[in-house]
Structure 1
Amino acid sequence: MKQPKVNRLRRMVTFGAAMALLAGTAIGMATPAMAQMEKRFSIPEETSLTPTPGGRINMLIRLDVQTLDPHVTSDTSGFLIVEQIYESLLETTMDGLQPALAESWEISEDGKTYTFKLRQNAKFHSGNPVTSADVKYSIERIQNPATASPRARSYSNITSIETPDDHTVVFNLNAPNAPFLTLLSTYGASIVDRTVIEGTGLNQTTDAGSGAFKLREHVVGQRVVLDKHTEYWREGQPYLDGIDITWNPDDNARAAAIRSGTVDFLWFAAPEFIDALKTDPAVKWFGGSGSLSLHFRMNTSRKPWDDVRVRQAVFYALDRQEILDIANSGHGTVLNAGYLPPDRWGSVKEPIYGAPDIEKAKALLAEAGYPDGFETNLLVISTSAFQVRSAEVEQYQLANVGIKVNLQLAESTVANAAIRANDFDIYQSGFSMTLDPDERFSSAFATGGGLNYGNWSDPEYDALIEKARTELDRDAREKLYQEAETILATRGPVGMTWASASYDVLANKVMGYNGDAGLSFRFYRNLWLQQ
């Protein structure tokens, strides 16, 4: 993988290092794997300038958001926009967990009671104060099956929530929960204005958030317009008057837009344009690591994917480096083991798969009763160029072992409806990597998880995830996740392929980029325009 330049760095950190910070572990010298994931977060001469308030920026992303309900959204566009609108009790930064709507917290000695003190100057966009009743309502809304939150399982051990006064919230758990504070810092645990939800509800012009920006409008298929929250509790922020967000799946058009000055912020530029954009004096880039883990999911409730030998044949047939090279111009990390790349905490460090083993794959198919292979359909979002490229490579790689793959290209809304209805054979997919492994491992792979499309179930895997959640020793907990990752890699429902390397490209006048999108997008409140 070609490495980004690291000159003019004020600060460098790896996601693996950030994860260790979250776990309270001291960071020493970066490992070679970590060094491959270095990111540029700011430019020194910019950080010495005094931010100028005012102005709006135009941001260009790839796809429209599916929903702006923070407790339901699971797509990356939703992640981006929801984090501008909503806040959580805590916030995750490169320096670890920080206070947000909660200004302080205490944990009981037995690890089963968490008491949060809310700040008294936080207001929702409606003008209502943020209270303990809103916190209780928000978390119980996530737990409520009617909400269909994909993350509900992560909050299942909360037995009760008490609100002794307007600014005190007490969570009672049935067992210690190692990732609990991290979970409460994510957008999935956003605190919502209960009066709005129970009144008008969320719509294209109304949100229930308290974040740095509020929703003015969401014109489906066209734009999202965000305005400054003038009563935001962080004094003087946000600096911008607003953010205007549009989208275009055409990678060429998006690169042309930032180079021509049509937009100010190109979010997650396509990798094939990165080298050229880095040399353009009119723009500046930030990035080099990513937050997206790519795979294709096999529907284990359908034949032949219910047979572990068939899935294993696929695992051995894949050339993951070739998929990365063609799909993402080599920018990223091959996933030769589980869901997490090897520099992330909780990952399997040594490869389980290397070069394709075609003979072993064919032998497994024959053993499963498919000596001549079989035919199947691979569902792909048509407007996602790198996903389509991944699918095309996988198509010809699987043909090498006798599996004929028909590509089914569909718009994102159609594809998402199909997977939720369990109407697919294989689905080309990817998930953002969460701050703590529990959130994704529980929602995407555990029995009954909200994102466990195809309904894979493995009792041993489930038991490991449950045990890891209550294990407070960091090293012991990591070993449990590594065991779970090994199960995913050897008999799970997904063919892991590669983890992204993402880049943001900004016009030179946009200042204040000082965060890590692999952790959170909430640092956009720090952006400002040089006049």
Structure 2
Amino acid sequence: MAKGGTFIVAHADNPQNLNPFHPDIPVDELNQRQLFEGLLVLDQDFNLEPTLAESYEVSDDNKVYTFKLRPGVKFHNGDEFGAEDVVYTWQWAMKPENASASLSRFDQVEKVEAPDAETVRVTLKSPSGPFLRRTATHGIVPHKYHASMSPEEFNQAPVGTGPFKFKEWVPGDHVSYVAFDGYWAGRPAIDEFRQVVIPEDSVRAVALRTGEIHSSAWPLAPDDTLDLLEDPNFTVYRAPGLELSHIQINQKRKPFQDPAVRKALMYGMDREAMRRDIMRELATLAQTNLSPALSDFYDPNVTQYAQDLDKAAALLDEAGWVPGSDGIRAKDGDRLDFVLLMIQGDEIRPPQAELAIESWKKIGVQARIERAEVGTFVDKIFGAADFDLAFYNWTYGGKDGDPDAFPQLACDGSDNHTAWCDQKATELLKRGLETVDDTERRAIYSDFQKLFAEEVPFLYIMFWDDIIFISKKVQGLPGSARRPRGILNEIQHATLTA
């Protein structure tokens, strides 16, 4: 096996943020993981491994963590890594005025200090079950370099400690990184990591077959996936996904504040037909917010929503939603007539959306599809809250192998884009967040899932199988992965054959 070469991975989207303060969009995370490292790292099997921290100790009350940092680490610009960088990064992320998307990861942090150049001490407000997985893995920036420029400037010239350093970004085409000669764990064998933008699922599949790319970080169309599963030229990593394919509901819009409307939309969809016929059984039907991949916490014994148009119509009748002359229901001047927002270039969800819209029409609900470029889509959902319904994948607990969903689903959750607010749900999520014992947490999250399914904060559909194809020209990667997309964060360990 020869050293050198360029590893090429395709994604449907153009990255928006090449900095660790906006880590939750998959295409951004893929790029950030090549550049940045945290004190710890989550590997492809959900295991925590030391990275910029060599070790840590925990106080008896589970509120104080003391990290001993790895000596001799350098940033891509030559700056020495030390405790000041960790403190700066965390404190910057914790300031609301900085509008960091990772703010919620630090909700439980009371303070972070640097007793000396190689020690970081973190004091929590209360014990936190997900702290190590969620917070200690946050990427670290060089404090002097980052403070010398605006966030926008840093985003165009990012610097971290990761195995690859930034080379160039051509929006809409590709982002490239070159091997970091000064990487603390040794220079990667591969010379360059390149993420190319190929929006169309079918075109990405052709690029895989022809060898134009080595992998796709975004799912392919079901037919192409089934074909490639039989192709001997690829190593296949497959496991149940963690991201929920769902139709988000904006509960700031009055009709969606009525639980009868939300439940009727759920009963109105044939989710099993979406999974079986459109996704070709490459997915698992969602029963709660958590994926069955989180087997220690997943509880499917909840309210079920097999399609039942009569029940859906009855719910709307009982709630006072009356069909008009055009068949569309209305109440107090509000019509059940919505726009369903989708990402431009998405080929997987539109057939599912069309099936749902056709079924909803039978119960007096009208919806029409509107498409938006990914940047506009993100702003409408996570910024302006300017939407009725939106179809995409997101994680509501389980992202790092932990069931916590407080940021996304609690009343005061910093990432709650549904505007759903249930006080009992918030209390359960708070208890789960502050409990360290797994047995106690299982009971708490079981109760939460039952309440979630009863209230239907949004329309949960399925968990896609997480399937990553890697060309067999790429050698040296782990043979399996419980978190298949995580395999793309191990490229620094790989080599390329001709």
* TM-score calculated relative to the size of structure 2: 0.90
For the pair 1:508 / 2:472, whether they are aligned, the reply is: yes
Per the alignment, residue 33 of structure 1 pairs with none
- DSSP-derived class of the 1:468 partner: helix
For the pair 1:399 / 2:361, whether they are aligned, the reply is: yes
Which of 386, 395, 400 is the equivalent residue of 1:423? Answer: 386
For the pair 1:325 / 2:276, whether they are aligned, the reply is: yes
Letter in 2 for 1:190: G
Letter in 1 for 2:27: S
For the pair 1:210 / 2:161, whether they are aligned, the reply is: yes
Alignment CA distance shift 1:451-1:389 (3 Å) = farther
Q: Is the 8 A contact 2:301 2:450 kept in 1?
A: no
Alignment CA distance shift 1:65-1:272 (3 Å) = same
Alignment CA distance shift 1:312-1:200 (3 Å) = same
Letter in 1 for 2:169: H
Alignment of 1:359-438 (within 5 A): 359-372=310-323, 373=329, 374-419=336-381, 420-432=383-395, 433-437=398-402
Any idea what the Cα deviations from partners look like across 1:209-259, whole Å, max 9, x if unmatched? 111111111111111001111111113x42211112111121111111111
Any idea what the Cα deviations from partners look like across 1:490-514, whole Å, max 9, x if unmatched? 2142111000113222332111232
- How far apart are residue 519 of structure 1 and its match? 4.9
- DSSP-derived class of the 1:488 partner: helix
Alignment CA distance shift 1:357-1:430 (3 Å) = same
Q: Is the 8 A contact 2:174 2:195 kept in 1?
A: yes
For the pair 1:74 / 2:38, whether they are aligned, the reply is: no
Alignment of 1:51-450 (within 5 A): 52-93=2-43, 94=45, 96-186=47-137, 189-201=138-150, 202-203=153-154, 205-235=156-186, 237-270=187-220, 271-341=222-292, 343-372=294-323, 373=329, 374-419=336-381, 420-432=383-395, 433-437=398-402, 441-450=405-414
Q: Which runs of 5 or more structure 1 residues have no equivalent in the other structure?
A: 1-50
Letter in 1 for 2:252: S
Any idea what the Cα deviations from partners look like across 1:294-340, whole Å, max 9, x if unmatched? 11111111120011121121222222211223442220111023343
Any idea what the Cα deviations from partners look like across 1:181-200, whole Å, max 9, x if unmatched? 111354xx111111221113
- How far apart are residue 166 of structure 1 and its match? 0.6
Letter in 2 for 1:405: A
**Aligned residues: CA RMSD:** 2.1
Q: Is the 8 A contact 1:287 1:502 kept in 2?
A: yes
Any idea what the Cα deviations from partners look like across 1:394-429, whole Å, max 9, x if unmatched? 212322322111111121122222222011111112
Q: Is the 8 A contact 1:87 1:211 kept in 2?
A: yes
Letter in 2 for 1:527: A
The alignment-based identity, stated in percent, is 26
Counterpart-to-counterpart distance in 1, 2:73 and 2:460: 42
Per the alignment, residue 453 of structure 1 pairs with 417
Any idea what the Cα deviations from partners look like across 1:478-530, whole Å, max 9, x if unmatched? 22122222222221421110001132223321112325335574212122112
Counterpart-to-counterpart distance in 2, 1:370 and 1:412: 34
- How far apart are residue 170 of structure 1 and its match? 0.3
Letter in 2 for 1:428: F
Q: Is the 8 A contact 2:19 2:154 kept in 1?
A: no
- How far apart are residue 352 of structure 1 and its match? 2.5
- How far apart are residue 436 of structure 1 and its match? 4.2
Alignment CA distance shift 1:461-1:475 (3 Å) = same
Q: Is the 8 A contact 2:22 2:28 kept in 1?
A: no
For the pair 1:465 / 2:414, whether they are aligned, the reply is: no
Report the count of equivalent residues.
Answer: 477
Counterpart-to-counterpart distance in 1, 2:477 and 2:348: 26
- How far apart are residue 379 of structure 1 and its match? 0.8
Alignment CA distance shift 1:151-1:346 (3 Å) = farther
Letter in 2 for 1:294: S
Alignment CA distance shift 1:169-1:124 (3 Å) = same
Q: Is the 8 A contact 1:148 1:450 kept in 2?
A: no
Counterpart-to-counterpart distance in 2, 1:182 and 1:321: 33
- How far apart are residue 448 of structure 1 and its match? 3.7
Letter in 2 for 1:528: T
- How far apart are residue 291 of structure 1 and its match? 3.4
Per the alignment, residue 522 of structure 1 pairs with 489
- DSSP-derived class of the 1:79 partner: helix
Q: Is the 8 A contact 1:60 1:247 kept in 2?
A: yes
- How far apart are residue 382 of structure 1 and its match? 2.2
Counterpart-to-counterpart distance in 2, 1:200 and 1:149: 16
Say which is worse superposed, 295-304 or 260-269, in terms of deviation: 260-269
- How far apart are residue 153 of structure 1 and its match? 2.9
Per the alignment, residue 27 of structure 1 pairs with none
- How far apart are residue 117 of structure 1 and its match? 0.3
Per the alignment, residue 8 of structure 1 pairs with none
Counterpart-to-counterpart distance in 1, 2:244 and 2:73: 35
- DSSP-derived class of the 1:66 partner: coil
Any idea what the Cα deviations from partners look like across 1:318-366, whole Å, max 9, x if unmatched? 2221122344222011102334336533222335315212222112112
Counterpart-to-counterpart distance in 2, 1:428 and 1:341: 21
Letter in 2 for 1:79: E
Say which is worse superposed, 176-185 or 215-224, in terms of deviation: 176-185
Counterpart-to-counterpart distance in 2, 1:185 and 1:512: 27
Counterpart-to-counterpart distance in 1, 2:422 and 2:388: 19
Counterpart-to-counterpart distance in 2, 1:76 and 1:280: 26
Counterpart-to-counterpart distance in 1, 2:48 and 2:83: 20
Q: Is the 8 A contact 1:115 1:169 kept in 2?
A: yes
Counterpart-to-counterpart distance in 1, 2:293 and 2:468: 23
Alignment CA distance shift 1:469-1:518 (3 Å) = farther
